Amino acid sequence: MQDTQAPEAQQTTAHASTATSDPHWERQTLERLAMANLAEQQAARRWKNGFRLAWLVFLVVVAGLLFSRNAPSSDPSQPHTAMVAIKGEIGSEGEASAENVMAAMRSALEDSGSKGLVLLINSPGGSPVQAGMINDEIHRLKKLHNKPVYAVVEESCASAAYYIAAAADSIYVDKASIVGSIGVLMDGFGFTGLMDKLGVERRLMTAGENKGFMDPFSPQTEAQRKHAQAMLNQIHQQFIAVVKQGRGERLKETPDMFSGLFWTGQQAVDMGLADGLGSLDSVARDVVKAEDVIDYSRHENVAERLAKRFGAALGEGAVQAMRRVPGLR
C-alpha cells in the first residue's frame, strides 16, 4: 500500500523543514515586521506634518487677507478721487449692503487726500431700507467733511440704486445706461386654486386674524390686499420725496417719471434725472480734478466666502426664499 500525505500535512512538513534549515527565521521575521511598522509610522508622521504645514499656510494667507482688507491701493494722503463701488443687488447681505457701503464712504471721506467721492453704481435695485440708510449717510458725510459726492452709473442705476444716487451732488451716466424705475413692488404667488383642484387642504393655525395673510397657500382678503397696497404706496411716496429733495429744480417732471418706468442714460439727462454723460475716469479728471483714483470698496475675502459657504449661510437661501418683503426693483 502506497504511503500518501494530505496537502496540509505536506505544507506543515515544508514549514518545519524551512525552520529547521534556517534557525534565525523568527528573528528575521520580527525585524521585517519592525521595519514595516517603522516605515508606516514615518509615513503617517510626514502626512501629519504636511497637513499642519498646509493649515499654517492657509491661516497665514487668510490673516493677510483680513489685515489687508479694504486697504487703499495707493497713498491716501496724496490728492486723489475716492471711489466706492455699489454693484449687484442692494441688501443686508453682500458687498452692496448699507454696512459695507457706509463704512467704505466714511473711510474715503476721512482721508485727507481725497478731494471727492465717486459712487460707481451698477445695480438693479434692492432693499428700500438699505438704500435709505446709505442715502441718509451720504447727506451726513457731505456736511461733516464738506466734500462733494458724485454718482457714476455704468450699466444700471435702477430703483433702490437710484434712491442712493439721488443723494449725490451730481449724477453721470453713459448714454446707454438704464436709469430710473422709481417704484416699489412686492411679489409672490397664490396656490389656492391649484390646491382646490388637487384636493389639498391647507392647515394653518395663527393667533391674530391677519398673521398669515402673506401665506401663498391661503386666500387673501380684499382688506389684506388694501393693507399691503397702502404699505407700498407709503414707501413709494418716501422714494419720490427723496428723489425730489436730491434733484430739486433739475427735475423735469412728467406723469411717467415716478411710475416705475426706466430710461436710457441720455433720456435721464434730458429729464433731469442725471446731470451729464461721464465715466469714472472722466469725472475724476474733469470734475473732481484728481486723476488718481483709489478704491475704498469693501470686498469679501476668502475667509468670508468660506464662512458663508460652510457656515450658517448654508440654509440662508431657503429662508430668504420664504420671505416676501417690499423691494425697490
pLDDT confidence bin for 53, thresholds 50/70/90: confident
Structure letter (DSSP) for residue 208 = S
| Domains of the chain, CATH where assigned | 73-322 (3.90.226.10)
Whether the pLDDT of residue 82 is over 50: the answer is yes
Whether the pLDDT of residue 228 is over 50: the answer is yes
Which pLDDT score is estimated for 24? 67
- Cα separation, 233 vs 93, in Å, equals 26
167's CB contacts (< 8 A; 6+ apart) are: 134, 135, 138, 139, 149, 242, 246
Whether the pLDDT of residue 209 is over 50: the answer is yes
Burial class (CB in 10 A: 0-12, 13-18, 19+), 42: exposed
Which pLDDT score is estimated for 326? 56
Q: Contact at 8 Å (CB) between 107 and 76?
A: no
Q: Which residues of 122-137 are buried (b: 16+ CB within 10 A; e: fewer)?
A: bbbbbbbbbbbbbbeb
CA angle 26, 29, 33 (to 5 degrees): 140
Q: From the CB of residue 204, how many other CB atoms can be counted at a distance below 10 Å?
A: 9
Which pLDDT score is estimated for 49? 72
- Over residues 240-262, the mean pLDDT reads 96
pLDDT confidence bin for 306, thresholds 50/70/90: low
pLDDT confidence bin for 267, thresholds 50/70/90: very high
Cell of 209: 386674524
16's CB contacts (< 8 A; 6+ apart) are: none
Whether the pLDDT of residue 146 is over 50: the answer is yes
Distances (CA, A) of 77 to 81, 152, 262, 289: 11, 24, 40, 16
- Over residues 126-152, the mean pLDDT reads 97
- What is the reported pTM? 0.70
Whether the pLDDT of residue 251 is over 80: the answer is yes
Which pLDDT score is estimated for 236? 96
Give the three-state DSSP class for 206: coil
More confident residue, 148 or 72: 148
